[in-house]
Amino acid sequence: MSSAERFIIPECFPDNVVAYTTTRCGGVSKKALADSSVQVGRAIQGKAIQGKSAQDKTAQDKTTQDKTTQAKTAQENSGAKDYLGLNIGAHVGDDIISVRENRARLPHSEKITWLEQVHGNTVATLPTLSVEADASFSSRPEHFCAVMTADCVPVLISDNRGKEVAAIHAGWKGLEATIIANAVTHFSTDPSQLIAWVGPAICGQCYEVNEALANKFSYYKNCVTPKKQAGKYLLDLPQIANQQLTHLGIKHVELSHYCTYCRSDLFYSHRKATHSNYEATGRIVSVIGLR
Ligand SMILES: [Zn+2]
């Protein structure tokens, strides 16, 4: 992958605003295998499967073998952790030296304030020592805002003159708890003068939820789609973020249209990792600051 695809760069912000979202590209993190005792068990089972397929030569066995391969892949992933690439999350079990190296490779890395995100609705004004928050706000060029995600919605905001910026981590909990509105109140300008960018997140075709969760967002237009399966719905988090931003009076909202689940080759996706039987995965980061 070319270096141009290492970062997703929003083009909606003023020239003096630095903003980007990372991808998995260009990092040093690796896949972490399950512990060795599990590995040994797997190797023995692998041999047994090989021996069986050598003896049986019917076509039916081809299907059996395919199924076995699938099961084997899932089993191999079981207990493994997919951090491969530029994992920015220091809280997901990855080797901390790799994470430090990955973070050091980010543009303006030294200016970033790393939050301890808790799916709440607290907004930290930088600089701050209390980093337990899911959004940060800054009007100072030496302090950049950043949020880590792996399916949740990252939202970056600046005013149209490039004087103030904010980064918001908005999963369904944050969206429900109005973290976007909380962040917008920190700006000294009217919301009509703000620009917002909705970054890579799980899309409305990939995010399946139960009825209770779907009901929380039934108020939003075209954001909840019932599936054929009873009690299952698809929820469009980026679109909910978009509607909240618009409702707050922000006229200029842009969406990245990248899905972290559809493009798990490019991004970390918590849901995709779970479906692939990985025990953990990495995080991308969305950063915004003033030059
Ligand atoms: Zn998708």
Give residue 72 CA to ligand 1 midpoint distance, Å. 26
Residue whose C-alpha is closest to residue 267's, from 107, 170, 97, 148: 148
Q: What is the DSSP string of 183-201?
A: HHTT-SS-GGGEEEEE-SB
Give residue 257 CA to ligand 1 midpoint distance, Å. 9
- With residues binned 3-state (H G I as helix, E B as strand, rest as coil), the percentages for the chain, rounded to 5, are 30, 25, 45
Give residue 267 CA to ligand 1 midpoint distance, Å. 11
Give residue 289 CA to ligand 1 midpoint distance, Å. 28
Give, as residue ranges, everything with CB less than 5 Å from ion ligand 1.
Answer: 203, 206, 259, 261-262
Give residue 151 CA to ligand 1 midpoint distance, Å. 10
Give residue 263 CA to ligand 1 midpoint distance, Å. 7
What is the pLDDT, as a whole number, of residue 5? 72
Give residue 259 CA to ligand 1 midpoint distance, Å. 5
Q: Which residues pair with 225 in a beta bridge?
A: 234
What is the pLDDT, as a whole number, of residue 65? 61
Q: Where does residue 66 rank: exposed (0-12), middle (13-18), buried (19+ CB within 10 A)?
A: exposed
Residue whose C-alpha is closest to residue 166's, from 192, 142, 134, 200: 134
Q: What is the pTM assigned to this prediction? A: 0.87
Q: Where does residue 91 rank: exposed (0-12), middle (13-18), buried (19+ CB within 10 A)?
A: exposed
Q: Where does residue 168 rank: exposed (0-12), middle (13-18), buried (19+ CB within 10 A)?
A: buried
Token code pair at residue 204: 């409305």
Tens-of-pLDDT digits for all 291 residues of the chain? 444 478 999 999 999 999 999 999 999 999 998 864 444 334 434 443 344 444 445 555 555 566 666 566 667 788 899 999 999 999 999 999 999 999 999 999 999 999 999 999 999 999 999 999 999 999 999 999 999 999 999 999 999 999 999 999 999 999 999 999 999 999 999 999 999 999 999 999 999 999 999 999 999 999 999 999 999 999 999 999 999 999 999 999 999 999 999 999 999 999 999 999 999 999 999 999 999
What is the pLDDT, as a whole number, of residue 77? 82
Give residue 261 CA to ligand 1 midpoint distance, Å. 5
Give residue 258 CA to ligand 1 midpoint distance, Å. 8
What is the pLDDT, as a whole number, of residue 79? 83
Residue whose C-alpha is closest to residue 241's, from 217, 215, 269, 264: 217
Give residue 244 CA to ligand 1 midpoint distance, Å. 21
Q: What is the DSSP string of 94-162?
A: --HHHHHHHHHTSTTGGGBPPPB--SS--EEESS-S--B-SEEEE--TT-BEEEEESSSEEEEEEETTS
What is the pLDDT, as a whole number, of residue 45? 41
What is the pLDDT, as a whole number, of residue 76? 73
Give residue 125 CA to ligand 1 midpoint distance, Å. 33
Give residue 236 CA to ligand 1 midpoint distance, Å. 10
Q: In terms of CATH, what superfamily is 2-34+78-290?
A: CNF1/YfiH-like putative cysteine hydrolases (3.60.140.10)
CA separation, residue 248 to residues 162, 207, 280 (Å)? 19, 25, 35
Give residue 195 CA to ligand 1 midpoint distance, Å. 25
Give residue 203 CA to ligand 1 midpoint distance, Å. 4
Give residue 118 CA to ligand 1 midpoint distance, Å. 24
What is the pLDDT, as a whole number, of residue 39? 43
Residue whose C-alpha is closest to residue 209's, from 228, 222, 224: 224
What's the rounded Cα separation, in Å, for the pair 272 and 258? Answer: 15
What's the rounded Cα separation, in Å, for the pair 77 and 85? Answer: 17
Give residue 134 CA to ligand 1 midpoint distance, Å. 23
Give residue 290 CA to ligand 1 midpoint distance, Å. 31
